[in-house]
Amino acid sequence: MNTMRYKLFGRSGLRVSELSLGALTFGEEGGQGADKTESEKVFRAYVERGGNFIDTANKYNEGTSEIWCGEFIGRERDRFVIATKYSLNMRRGDPNAGGTHRKSMMQSVEASLKRLKTDYIDLYWLHQWDDNATPLDEVLRGLDDLVRQGKVLYLGISDTPAWRVAQANTMADLRGWSPFVGLQIEYSLIERTPERDLIPMAQALGLAITPWGVLGQSVLSGKYHTAADPKNPPGSLRVKGTAARITERNLGIARVGAEVAKEIGATLPQVAIAWLRTRSPQIIPILGARTQAQALDNLACLDITLPPELVRRLEEVSRIELGHPHDFLRRQRIVEQRWGGTQGRVEGLPGYVIEGP
């Protein structure tokens, strides 16, 4: 059994474990979580493997997740890296109870500090970009104020277009404000579209990448890849957030993943998480679990290594079109136009994937 190793978090000196524990399931208000006893078992299973990086949010189960995280950590608060988020609305009907603007930011951080029973937050995520309703400089200056006040140590941004993140960090660097050091996105064998722009952007800017939905909204949990069976038709699946993902393509990915898992004596979730870990050293998957058994199974991904041929097999079945201009720039004829046949003789040039004329 391998003990958790640690990574530097993006362009910072912060040390975080190579897997993060997602606390979305801590609480039952959303109908998908666990009670307090089981949530604490999940937490302890993660800590026993050396984990120190807890990911929660003010909105998770209407604040219960933050409250329980604070209680589970207790007197060992300084040992842990606590990440929480703001921008989701906490009072329905009140337009200022959510969003990325300064009022929402300030009331959110104060409420999170109280629920977590701490006087500082290690990593503060902007949870969702709010349709450009708030000027970018207002967001960045407000977050920088929180860092200067010592209420927040580092900043991250989640579920935001790549161009906006790049613009934000460029502005922060030019004005001497605190930059984002992490990017949180949905990424899995099922959802590979971040490979078009978000992941290359994060790699170029040195951002840590913390994927959520690593099991493809449960499609890679091992429960649904036989859903095409007449006894369990796709239309019968009513799991929140999962039914829309039950497509022939995604079921095919799950079946191949299950075959790979069988070959190496692992489970499908372990293979799905292990594949993510091969994509970039900047990736720190967020593991979510409703039971201790699920947590232990997911954490066992640390004990497996995917041979290169099996990685290629998973990538082939889950491959997506990158779209314009990415696929265009990789065409053999277009590459030849730029390099005149010398591309294979230039040191330091990224390897080209030549696809079609």
Q: Which DSSP string corresponds to 146-158?
A: HHHHTSEEEEEEE
Can 86 be counted among the known catalytic residues? no
Encoding tokens for residue 46? Answer: 């993660």
CATH homologous superfamily for 6-320? NADP-dependent oxidoreductase domain (3.20.20.100)
Alpha-helical (H) ranges within 186-291 are 198-205, 248-264, 268-279
Q: Which two tokens stand for residue 344?
A: 């294979």
Q: Provide the residue ranges of all domains of the chain, joining segments of one domain with +.
A: 6-320, 321-357
Q: Which of 60, 86, 154, 224 is catalytic?
A: 60
Residue 224 near residue 254, CB atoms below 8 Å? yes
pLDDT per residue as tens digits for the range 173-226: 999 999 999 999 999 999 999 999 999 999 999 999 999 999 999 999 987 765
Q: Give me the tens of pLDDT residue by residue for the chain, a chain 357 residues long.
A: 888 999 999 999 999 999 999 999 999 998 889 999 999 999 999 999 999 999 999 999 999 999 999 999 999 999 999 999 999 999 999 999 999 999 999 999 999 999 999 999 999 999 999 988 999 999 999 999 999 999 999 999 999 999 999 999 999 999 999 999 999 999 999 999 999 999 999 999 999 999 999 999 999 998 776 545 444 544 444 445 566 788 999 999 999 999 999 999 999 999 999 999 999 999 999 999 999 999 999 999 999 999 999 999 999 999 999 999 999 988 888 988 998 988 878 887 765 556 666
Query: Residue 6 carries which side chain, given as an amino acid letter?
Result: Y
Contact (Cβ atoms closer than 8 angstroms) between residue 137 and residue 171 = yes
Cβ atoms 193, 186 nearer than 8 A: no
Q: How far is the first Cα of the chain from the last one, in angstroms, to the nearest whole number?
A: 48
Single-letter code of the amino acid located at 354: I
Q: Report the alpha-carbon distance of residue 300 to residue 305 in Å, rounded.
A: 11
